[in-house]
């Protein structure tokens, strides 16, 4: 079974630009979660989608948004990029929602904002 696929692997953007990251979950998984990973802060939860609906949201500004398509693929968008948005963005899928459903992570998209 193919794992979670994230594209692109690396991105370099300029302050003020916007960016869209893509995630394809494991086949059959309906939940997709997004995390931001930075040194010093670790993994911070962004949001979770299940069956095209946002189920949970972390404490991030409205510049961070996401969506999920009918095939469970998900995209995450960050508008008006700031230097502090430089991070590894990880997508994880799971069969169901809820904290006890284990997460299967992709290898992430490394975003650098200059």
In 1-114, the DSSP E strands lie at 5-7, 10-13, 19-24, 31-38, 42-50, 53-57, 64-68, 74-78, 87-94, 104-105, 109-113
State in angstroms the smallest separation of the CB of 16 from another protein: 28
**Residue from 20, 56, 65, 86 binding another protein (CB under 8 A):** 56
Nearest Cα to Cα of residue 99 among 33, 18, 23 = 33
Residue count (the chain): 114
State in angstroms the smallest separation of the CB of 114 from another protein: 21
State in angstroms the smallest separation of the CB of 77 from another protein: 19
What are the beta bridge partners of residue 113?
13
CA distances to 17, 27, 51, 88, 103 from 44, in Å: 22, 25, 22, 11, 14
State in angstroms the smallest separation of the CB of 87 from another protein: 13
Residue ranges in 75-114 that form contacts with another protein under rule CB under 8 A: 90, 92, 98-100, 102-108
Site mask for another protein (CB under 8 A), range 9-48, x = bound? ------------------------x-x---xxxxx-x--x
Q: Name the residues that contact another protein, by CB under 8 A.
A: 4, 33, 35, 39-43, 45, 48, 56-58, 90, 92, 98-100, 102-108
């Amino acid at each position: 079974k193919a794992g979670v696929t994230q594209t692109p692997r690396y991105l370099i953007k300029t302050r003020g630009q916007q960016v869209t990251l893509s995630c394809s979950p494991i086949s059959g998984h309906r939940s997709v979660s997004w995390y931001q990973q930075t040194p010093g802060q670790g993994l911070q939860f962004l949001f979770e989608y299940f069956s095209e609906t946002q189920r949970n949201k972390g404490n991030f500004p409205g510049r961070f948004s996401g969506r999920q398509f009918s095939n469970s693929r998900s995209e995450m968008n960050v508008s008006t990029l700031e230097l502090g948005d430089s991070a590894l963005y990880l997508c994880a899928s799971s069969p169901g929602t809820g904290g006890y459903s284990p997460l299967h992570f992709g290898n992430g998209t490394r975003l650098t904002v200059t």
